[in-house]
Amino acid sequence: DLSGRDDVLPLALHVGYWDYIGWADTFADPRFMRRQKGYAKAAGERMIYTPQIIVGGRYRIVGSHPKQLAAAIRELDAKPDAVEVEASRQGERIMIRASMAEGATAGKMLVQVVPFAPRQRVAIRSGENAGAVIDYTHIVTDWQVLGEWDGTADWQGEARMDGPVAVLVQAAGFGPILGAARVD
């Protein structure tokens, strides 16, 4: 549902810890489960679960609780980003510039690029959803840290990749997302 909104950049990180029940998620990547565990540890939680939504690196929400999700999105929309992220494409090159917003401060941050597939339809052949056809959106295909940044001067860099890409600046240690941009 979030994929059609202009004010949200949803990213679906598929995990494989349910593969044992009869169907292996072909989009799953062990790094994504480690990322989910990192968020849980940073929040002092011991459990991970699906469906889970991490909003802005700040809120952990059960995916079947749309009112909590809507409230978290509204709250983040009301706050200005601490980091202004500009990203553009020149062929395969993604040019990135990040700068601290006026009056904003932050400690160690990570500049990350996250390529994703906008939409794929999958016929489920086995497991509890056997026979279903599911349209997945914003499927994360990789997650790369381009560099660390302390915010004292603008950060500039580039990445090489095809297709849509999210550029995220996040406080280190699975902290909040401080700024983001999308490049198609």
Predicted local confidence at residue 51, as pLDDT: 92
Distance CA 182, CA 184 (A): 7
- 23: pLDDT strictly greater than 90: no
pLDDT at 69: 96
8-state DSSP, 124: -
pLDDT for position 129:
87
- Give the pLDDT confidence score for residue 1 in this predicted structure: 85
- Residue 12, pLDDT > 90, answer yes
pLDDT in tens, 32-78: 999 999 999 999 999 999 999 999 999 999 999 999 999 999 999 99
Where would I find the H helices in 43-180? 66-77
pLDDT at 18 over 90: no
Q: For the chain, what is the mean pLDDT? A: 95
Name the band, by pLDDT with cuts 50, 70 and 90, for residue 105.
Answer: confident
Which pLDDT belongs to residue 59?
95
Please say if the pLDDT value at position 22 is more than 90: no
* 83-90 vs 59-62, strand pairing mode: unpaired
Residue 146 in this model has a pLDDT that exceeds 90: yes
Model confidence pLDDT, tens digit, residues 84-102: 999 999 999 999 999 999 9
Reduced to 3 states (helix: H, G, I; strand: E, B; else coil), residue 142 is coil
Q: Which residue pairs, CB below 8 angstroms and at least 24 apart, start in 161-166?
A: 161/92, 161/94, 161/113, 161/115, 162/92, 162/115, 163/115, 163/116, 163/117, 164/115, 164/116, 164/117, 164/118, 165/87, 165/94, 165/113, 165/114, 165/115, 165/116, 166/9, 166/11, 166/113, 166/114, 166/116
Compute the average pLDDT of residues 116-129: 93
Q: In the prediction, which pLDDT does 84 show?
A: 98
pLDDT at 20 (0 to 100):
87
Q: Which residues are paired to 54 by β-bridges?
A: 60
Closest CA to 146 of 117, 166, 132: 166
How would residue 21 be classed by pLDDT, with cut points 50, 70 and 90? confident
3-class state of residue 112 by DSSP: strand
Longest dimension (CA), the chain: 54
Tokens 């009112």 found at: 67
d(CA 49, CA 177): 21
